[in-house]
Chain A
């Protein structure tokens, strides 16, 4: 089982709709969760971090965390063409006392004008 799993997509969403991105993780002890956005040929850019169960909103972005289900999601409201990118779910995974940021494969999102 992969430590962090995402649907690789591609996911196509009409402009103005809600894009929903999902991620599951295997380490039940994980406490820190992040969503990064990566445009083609560019570096990953942090867009959301979440540490507690529930929802966290920042502008058009909402991160949702459910530790019992080991599930974290990202909602993008009023999707814009500029939101088209690969979205990477990342989780701090502990391994023999060392913590490292572990990534999923990423979901490629395309917003259709």
Chain B
């Protein structure tokens, strides 16, 4: 079974640019989550999709972040325009109906 895959693995962009992160969950997993780990801090929840619907987006930092999950399959997280404090590792995770989350390898975003 393929795991959660994320693309790209690394991204370096300049302040003010746009970046789009992609997550492909495990096939059949309705739940898809985005988390972020900023250097030295804990992994923080960003949002949760159930299929294509946003169940909880209380962790999204501000309106520069936009997440979508069209068709309930893969998800994208766009940051526009990127700021220095957006640097960190963005993890995607998926699960099926209350089972434990499986994480992707993350996308390391560096904003310079």
Binding site for B on A (CB under 8 A): 4, 32, 34, 36, 42-46, 49, 88, 95, 98, 100-106
Does the CB pair A43–B106 fall under 8 Å?
yes
CB atoms of B43 and A98 under 8 A apart: no
B74 within 8 A of A: no
Is B42 in contact with chain A by the CB < 8 A criterion?
yes
What sequence of 0s and 1s flags, for each residue 28-39 of chain B, a beta carbon within 8 Å of any chain A beta carbon? 000001010000
Interface on chain B toward A: helix, strand, loop, or mixed SS?
strand
By beta carbon, the residue of chain A nearest B44 is: A103
Q: Given contacts A102-B45, A103-B43, is CB(A95)–CB(B100) below 8 Å?
A: no
How many A-B residue pairs have C-beta atoms within 8 angstroms? Tell me.
44
Binding site for A on B (CB under 8 A): 33, 35, 41-45, 48, 55-56, 58-59, 91, 93, 98, 100-106
Contacts A43-B91, A43-B105, A44-B91 known; A103 to B58 CB distance under 8 Å?
no
> Nearest chain-B residue to A102 (Cβ)?
B45
15 residue pairs A–B, Cβ–Cβ below 8 Å = A4-B42, A43-B103, A43-B105, A43-B106, A44-B91, A46-B100, A46-B102, A88-B43, A95-B56, A98-B48, A100-B48, A101-B45, A101-B101, A103-B43, A103-B44
Inter-chain contact B104/A43, CB cutoff 8 Å = yes
Chain B residues lying within 8 Å of A95, measured Cβ to Cβ, are: 56, 58
CB contacts (< 8 Å) of A105 on chain B: these are: 41-42
Q: Which residues of A contact B106 (CB under 8 A)?
A: 43
Chain A residues closer than 8 Å to B104, beta-carbon distance: 43
Give every chain A residue within 8 A of B35 (Cβ-Cβ).
103
Known: A43-B106, A100-B56. 16 other contacts (CB 8 A): A32-B98, A43-B103, A45-B103, A46-B100, A46-B102, A49-B100, A98-B55, A98-B56, A101-B93, A102-B45, A103-B35, A103-B42, A103-B43, A104-B42, A105-B41, A106-B42
